[in-house]
Amino acid sequence: MAINNTNKIILFPKLGKYIIIFFSVAFIIVGLRGYQLFQYVFKENVKTDLIITIPENATFRQVVDSLKAKDALINYKAFMWVAKKKDYRESVKPGRFLFQKGMNTNELINILRIGKQEPVRVIFNNVRFKEEFAGIISRYLLADSASILQLFSDSLLIHELGFTKETFKAMFIPNTYEVYWTTSPVNFAKRMKIEYDRFWNNERLKKAGQLGLTPVEVSILASIVQEETIKKAEKPVVAGLYINRLKRGIPLQADPTLKFAIKDFTIKRVLNKHLETDSPYNTYLNAGLPPGPINFPEISSIEAVLNYKKHNYLYMCAKEDFSGYHNFSSTLAEHNRNARRYRNTLDSNSIWK
């Protein structure tokens, strides 16, 4: 009996030792795993600054493939583990997202999960036709050009924003704007209305009122000025010429309006057949301003009208040296001499249309 008791006494210390070892190893393993998961969540995981674009209806797998294609992350396993824990795999949102060097995985997933986008800078200028405009804007937004073009035939929206189909282009003032890539065409239009109202502040409204013109009418005249000259210094002079004509009730007889009517801005000579074009944009046949802008007038053109140069000019003709500048005149006789010199130059250069 003494021997057996001795064996039992020795056995329990051995079992205790194994238990201690087991729990010690388990504790180390758990600690290491915990440290690894902590690293997954909070360790830096972005190699360099970059933009990630996620299209509509993208899957989580596609997001990961896109990141790999850009060689964006240091540890993709960490990204996928945190995404699973934060339920991002089932809630992928479209957008344009900025990843910055030094961000950890938790920050990345938070940005993607809540759809915190980086704005895109939309830039447009020197645009004539709505089709051109739609093509340019679609380069910056998720929306395609067809859906943007559709804005210009959406009567309800156009009326809601306070325009007509003819004047709607005046609302889109060329500039640089920050919007989100996923902005819908309708919301983009509404954003442009906000910018339009901001542009037409009290000072500009006052100047337009002094001319006897509405903001839209200023934009229509500005669109003509913009087509008449590429020289910024000439714009206030050209604006003054057309304001003189409007005040005296003289038809504008602006060649660019004819070019718009026939949808051909390449012609160098305005011929008799052009003068007979049946269009409300034909300012040879119709007095006053045309029904809408013939392009998307830029700020410099609008400002040229609001701050036009006062003078007695009623006529203008391109200079015969093709410099882009114009000869201005107050009398028809002087204008005819200028026009004759220009036509002779066209003839000598075999420019017939």
In tens, the pLDDT along 111-136 reads 999 999 999 999 999 999 999 999 99
pLDDT at 3 over 80: no
Contact present, 149 and 63 (Cβ < 8 Å):
no
DSSP 200: S
CA dist 154 and 20 (Å) reads 77
**Of 22-31, 100-109, 274-283, which range is least confident?**
22-31
* Higher-scoring residue by pLDDT: 181, 4: 181
Instruction: Please list, residue by residue across 55-69, b when 16 or more beta carbons sit within 10 angstroms of its beta carbon and e when fewer do.
Output: eeebebeebbeebee
Residue 38 pLDDT grade (very low, low, confident, very high; cuts 50, 70, 90):
very low
pLDDT at 14 over 70: no
**pTM, 2 dp:** 0.83
The predicted pLDDT at position 10 comes to 54
pLDDT at 182 over 70: yes
Spans of all domains in the chain: 50-114, 120-199, 212-348
CA dist 44 and 106 (Å) reads 9
pLDDT in tens, 85-96: 999 999 999 999
pLDDT in tens, 192-215: 999 999 999 999 999 999 999 999
Q: Report, at the CATH architecture level, how domain 50-114 is classified.
A: 2-Layer Sandwich (3.30)
pLDDT in tens, 300-340: 999 999 999 999 999 999 888 888 899 999 999 999 998 88
The predicted pLDDT at position 35 comes to 44
* Higher-scoring residue by pLDDT: 35, 19: 19
**Of the candidates 82, 95, 53, 85, the residue with the CA atom closest to the CA atom of residue 70:** 53
pLDDT at 350 over 50: yes
CA dist 69 and 199 (Å) reads 42
The predicted pLDDT at position 1 comes to 47
pLDDT at 5 over 90: no
pLDDT at 353 over 70: no
Averaged pLDDT score across all residues of the chain: 89
Residue 344 pLDDT grade (very low, low, confident, very high; cuts 50, 70, 90):
confident
